[in-house]
A and B are shown apart, each in its own frame.
Chain A
């Protein structure tokens, strides 16, 4: 049971990731595919942050253990635990994945914007946003549409 609880976070992340993937594969609408891709991207962010969490830890911003916040944190923890895993009397979570995901989120919205801009242009060029119909329009021979190569 405790093994399941320890790993339930990762299972939830995998479920979300596969949900996003399912949306990307199953919907023909380009905009809905972008939304599915956004879910996929944020789920990988959730995975990294799950890895970074240290139980009993606090945000990786240095605080003084003697201050009010430090003492409030230490009051809930085992002294031996804090001594073994803490830094100057406070236990912190791992900062490195936070850095990676912080920029990944902003880059994710930038790429979402580019994808949506392309989708808007596709709609204007082909008159539809469904990937099947766009592919069908592309496959029409130049003779029948009169379009060049």
Chain B
């Protein structure tokens, strides 16, 4: 490992500096009693994690962490403290002893175990040398996607992704059942605090500039998931963030007129239906569940123009291309609609009681 990595030292320095910042942030979150401070520090924690993930060659994950952690997660936590209290009770020192001992003891055991792990960056470690390496070798050839992460997520491990999409949908249903569907939002919801005069004009102009661009960027990320970092999960969360921004600036009522809660719920269900529907179509055509090789019958596949992807000479796995396309679309629908439903649940509930009539 020694000879090749002349620039690893700079990488390692950045990596350790970012991890140190994360540790300091975690300590700050532990020490503060004000929940608003804890939530904003959590947002900063997510952003620093996203930067660390880029340094670790994981742009897909960094994308997701930045949008989810610094976007939706902060919004949902803020909604929760707006509906409850913004400050935690004081905990006496005695209460901290047992957790500290447990944390130190478990941490010591884990560090002792971690010393046996392979060196950081070792290309011959068991994690990097076998299955991961094989995916790198065959993914582009089998699926036609340059982004190996998307290929693995959507094709090789497509069944896992279906399960995760269903979990996200179930979480949206759970929040909607616990907090209401948001249809009974008060005319001026608490999230858009009463502003004096027309102080919102700057935010309204900025939002009008940004919301279309954010939505367009979400679709760009969705459809370029094969070629670069991106995919259904990131695009879904970005699209939901556009809707949430609209609600924060223009009021929840306006947004609910544009994106009705029933529409959001329907789209979420449609996403899961689309994903499993692709799997069923593959079974009907003679293959296994989500076996994209059997997505198209031979007659349909003969109808696809060979120049569709711009290279008439190359052989294309049309089942893989279209299968990945449709299931990513399903993931986009479910993730975006679920995040919007969750937001409506928190924002549409008035504090201290039932959703207002």
> What is the 8 Å Cβ interface bit string for chain B, positions 322-356, against chain A (1 contact, 0 not)?
00000000000001001000100110010011000
Scoring A21, A82, A102 by chain B CB atoms within 10 A of each residue's CB, the highest score goes to A102
A6 CB, nearest partner CB in chain B, Å:
4
Beyond A19-B23, A123-B84, whether A51 also contacts B125 by CB under 8 A is yes
Q: How many angstroms from the CA of A102 to the CA of B72 in the assembled complex? A: 15
Q: Which of B12, B111, B228 contacts A5 (CB 8 A)?
A: B12
Number of residues in B with C-beta < 8 Å to the partner?
116
B25 CB, nearest partner CB in chain A, Å:
9
Q: How many angstroms from the CA of A137 to the CA of B59 in the assembled complex? A: 48
* B149: Cβ under 8 A from any A Cβ: yes
Q: Which of B29, B56, B237 contacts A49 (CB 8 A)?
A: B56
Across chains A and B, the number of contacting residue pairs, with CB separation under 8 Å, is 328
* B320: Cβ under 8 A from any A Cβ: no
Beyond A11-B111, A59-B229, A109-B72, whether A31 also contacts B19 by CB under 8 A is no
B209 CB, nearest partner CB in chain A, Å:
27
Residues of chain A from 19 to 61 with CB closer than 8 A to chain B in the complex:
19-23, 25-29, 31-32, 34-36, 38-39, 42, 45-46, 49-61
Q: Which residue of B lies closest to A78 (CB)?
A: B4
Q: Which of A16, A78, A101, A113 contacts B3 (CB 8 A)?
A: A78
Name the prevailing secondary structure of the A interface residues: helix
Q: B: which residues have CB within 8 A of A? A: 1, 3-8, 11-12, 15-16, 19-20, 22-23, 26-27, 29-30, 35, 38-39, 42, 45-46, 49, 52-53, 56-61, 64-65, 68-69, 72-73, 76-77, 79-81, 83-85, 88-89, 91, 95-96, 98-100, 102-104, 106-107, 110-111, 114-115, 117-125, 127-128, 131-133, 135-137, 139-140, 146-149, 152-153, 157, 160-161, 164, 167-168, 171-172, 174-175, 178-179, 227-229, 231, 233, 237, 335, 338, 342, 345-346, 349, 352-353
